[in-house]
Amino acid sequence: MTYKYPVYRPYFNGREKDLVMDCIESTWISSRGRYISEFETRFANWLGVRRATTVSNGTVALHVALHALGIGPGDEVLVPALTYVATANAVRYTGATVVLVDSEPNYWQMDIRDAESKITARTKAIIPVHLYGHATDMTALMALARRKSLFVIEDCAEAIGTRIEGRNVGTFGDLACFSFFANKTITTGEGGMVVSNDDRLADRVAQLKSQAVSTSREYWHDEIGFNYRMTNMCAAIGCAQMDMVDELIARKQRIADWYKEFLEGVPVHVHETQPDTFHSFWMVSILTQDAKDRDPLRDMLKEFGVETRPLFHPIHHLDMYKEAHARFPVAEDLSSRGVNLPSYPALMRGDVATICAPIRAYFERMGNVRETVSALRDAFEVKASA
C-alpha cells in the first residue's frame, strides 16, 4: 500500500548527488576515500567527542563496540526490555547473556533502579537505549556504572541531537553507537558510527572493523576481525547530511510541537520530555489510554492514508528471548498502547493537522459509542430494578 503520509522518508538537500558522483568519478567508491575521514571528523566535532569511526550500520556498531570491550561468553549485559531487537542481538553475537531491564513509565527509558537490581558478579556492561529520541537518565546510570565498575555503551541510533543539560547523548559512556539508516535523522542509506573519548578504545574499534589489519606490518592481521567498514559513497551522503543536521533537528521539534497542538484535548499521551533534556523526536509517539484502542486507531489512520507503527515489541515477547515467567510490566504496557506517527522532516503544519483529524474523530466517535452503551446499561438497570 502506498501511503499519503508514511511514517518516515529521508530528507535530502541536493548536495548528496554531487558528492556521490564525485566518488564515482574519482573511482573511490569502496571503504577508502576522503569522505570517510571527513564524515568522521565532522560528526565527532558536531557531537563533542574526541573520536568517531564509521561502520556499515548501527547493529555492527554495537557488536564491534562490545567486542572492543572484551565482552564475551560468561558475561552479562543489561539491555532495556523495550528496544529494537538489534540491541539484544548484538550482545548475543558476542556469546554474552542478555539481561533485560524494565522501563520507567514517564519517559519510557531504562529504569535505573531495576537495572541495579539485575546486576550480578557476571555483569560487565550496560547498554542504555535513548528510545525514540528521548534520553536515558545518564547521570544516574553513569553513577551506577562507576559504582559497580561496569562499561557503558550508549545506543544512540534514535537520538541524534538529543541532549542532557546541553550535552549530546553519546558523550557519556565508554563508547556510543549511532545509526544512519534511511529512517534516521541523518542518513547514509545504511551506515553507523562508533564514538568515544577514549583513544585506545577508538583505535581498537577502527582496527577490528577492518579485519583487524595490523598497523605495523603490511597485509598482516593481528586477530579475527570484521568487515564492518562504511563505503566512501555512503560517507559522502553523510557529509551532505551534516550540512543540515541542525536544521533537521529543528524541523522535527516543530513537527512535535504541531502534534501537541492538534492533539490537545484528545485522550492520547504524547511522549513527554524530562526537564533539562532536549528530546530530538526521532519519532513522535503517542500512547492511547486503553490498549484496546491502539490497533483500531491505527486501522482508521490507514484508511486515511496515514502509516503508523506500534512501539517495539518487548524483547522478552520474541521467541528467541522468551523466558519462563518473565514480566516487565511497564515495557509491556507501553508497547501495548504505543503508536509512532509520521515524523519525517518534510511534514508541514497542514500535514500534521490532516494526520491528527482522524485521531480526534476516532476518539469522538468512540466517546459517543461509550456514552450510548452507558446510557443503555443505565436504562436496563433501572428497568430491571422496577
H or E segment to which residue 268 belongs: strand 268-270
* Chain-centre distance for alpha carbon 225: 26
Q: How much is the pLDDT for 79?
A: 98
Contact (CB, 8 A) for 248 and 12? no
Tens of pLDDT, residue by residue over 97-138, are 999 999 999 999 999 999 999 999 999 999 999 999 999 999
Mean pLDDT for the stretch of residues 250-269 = 98
Question: Per-domain residue ranges for the chain?
Answer: 15-242, 245-379
What number is the average pLDDT over the span 66-78? 98
How many angstroms separate the first and last alpha carbons of the chain?
Answer: 55
Q: At 256, list the grid cell.
A: 512535535
- Rounded to 5°, angle at Cα 229 from 88 and 173: 50
Mean pLDDT on 50-62: 98
CB-hemisphere CA count at 13 Å for 129? 28
Average pLDDT of the residues in 359-363 = 96
pTM value is 0.94
Place of cell 517495539: 312
367 pLDDT band (50/70/90 cuts)?
confident
Q: Which of 91-100, 227-236, 301-310, 367-376 comes out lowest in average pLDDT?
A: 367-376
Q: How far is 48 from 17, CA to CA, in rounded Å?
A: 28
Q: Do residues 20 and 33 make contact, with C-beta atoms less than 8 angstroms apart?
A: no
Check pLDDT > 70 for residue 140: yes
CB contact at 8 A, 62 and 86 = yes
DSSP conformation letters of 86-135:
HHHHHHHHTTPEEEEEPBPTTT--B-HHHHHHT--TTEEEE--B-GGG--
pLDDT at 324: 74
How high does pLDDT run on average in the chain? 95
Stated as kind and residue range, the H or E segment containing 278 is: strand 277-278
Say whether domain 15-242 belongs to CATH 3.30.930.10.
no
Do the beta carbons of residue 75 and residue 97 sit within 8 Å? Answer: yes
pLDDT of residue 376: 46
- List of residues 6+ apart from 106 with CB closer than 8 A: 272, 274
Query: How much is the average pLDDT of 284-303?
Result: 97
Contacts of 210 (CB under 8 A, 6+ apart): 31, 225, 227, 228, 229
Is the model's pLDDT at 373 over the cut of 50?
no
Query: Can you give the pLDDT at residue 66?
Result: 98
pLDDT > 70: what percent of the chain? Answer: 95
**What is the pLDDT, as a whole number, of residue 323?**
84
CA distances from 131 to 30, 137, 344 (A): 32, 12, 17
Q: Say what the pLDDT of residue 54 is.
A: 98
pLDDT of residue 366: 85
Q: In DSSP terms, which residues pair with 278 in a beta bridge?
A: 163
Q: Are 182 and 10 in contact (CB under 8 A)?
A: yes
Domain 15-242 and domain 245-379 have a common topology: no
Class of domain 245-379: alpha beta
Mean pLDDT over 175-190 rounds to: 98
Rounded (5°) CA angle 147-51-71: 45
Nearest to 145 by CA among 154, 158, 156, 135: 154
Q: Is the pLDDT of residue 319 over 90?
A: yes
What does the pLDDT read at residue 7? Answer: 98
**What pLDDT does 42 receive?**
98
